[in-house]
């Protein structure tokens, strides 16, 4: 039995980017995750950047995501090689092929006009 499953929770470093390759549209996301550890009594923070690729109908939702969005993605880890024109050599990149996206952003705080109206105006209570 084999399993290739990745779950990441982080923040987008830039707006989602829609691309087309061989008449196939897809969306790419740049997702940052953080970890930290203690060394010599000080906390050291490390940010890892993940390239996420979204295809199909989920790509339509993914293209609406903007910088700093807090999301969870699930998918599988994939590698691919390409020929670099700049260095005239082959390069291998690792990507997350996304199967699901969960937006974790909290709703914006309600403005005064959206808050509950539990108070009864004074003129109605005087009757």
Question: Is 126 part of a structural domain of the chain?
Answer: no
Question: Is 123 part of a structural domain of the chain?
Answer: no
* Number of domains the chain contains: 1
The whole domain housing 99 covers 6-106
Q: Which of 2, 24, 22, 29 is nearest to 103 (CA)?
A: 29
Question: Is 101 part of a structural domain of the chain?
Answer: yes
Residue with structure tokens 């092929």? 97
Question: Is 39 part of a structural domain of the chain?
Answer: yes
The reported pTM is 0.75
**Model confidence over 77-105: pLDDT tens digits?**
999 999 988 888 999 999 999 999 999 97
Question: Is 40 part of a structural domain of the chain?
Answer: yes
- The chain-wide mean pLDDT, for the chain, equals 87
Question: Is 45 part of a structural domain of the chain?
Answer: yes
The CATH number of the domain holding residue 22 is 2.40.50.140
Per-residue pLDDT of the chain (127 residues; tens, 9 = 90+): 999 999 999 999 999 999 998 888 999 999 999 999 999 999 999 999 999 999 999 999 999 999 999 999 999 999 999 998 888 899 999 999 999 999 997 766 554 444 444 343 344 444 4
Question: Is 21 part of a structural domain of the chain?
Answer: yes
Nearest-angstrom CA–CA distance, 52 and 8: 10
Burial of 18 (0-12, 13-18, 19+ CB in 10 A): middle
Partners of 32 in the beta sheet?
11, 49
* Six token digits for residue 121: 């105006």
Nearest-angstrom CA–CA distance, 11 and 59: 18
């Amino acid at each position: 039995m084999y399993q290739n499953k990745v779950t990441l929770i982080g923040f987008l470093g830039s707006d989602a980017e829609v691309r087309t390759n061989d008449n196939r549209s897809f969306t790419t996301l740049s997702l940052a995750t953080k970890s930290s550890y203690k060394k010599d009594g000080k906390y050291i923070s490390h940010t890892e950047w993940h390239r996420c690729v979204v295809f199909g109908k989920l790509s339509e939702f993914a293209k609406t995501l903007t910088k700093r969005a807090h999301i969870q993605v699930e998918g599988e880890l994939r590698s691919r090689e390409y020929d670099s024109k700049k260095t005239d050599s082959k390069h291998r990149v690792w990507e997350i092929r996304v199967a699901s996206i969960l937006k974790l952003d909290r709703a914006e705080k309600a403005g005064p006009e959206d808050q509950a109206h539990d108070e009864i105006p004074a003129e109605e209570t005087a009757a």
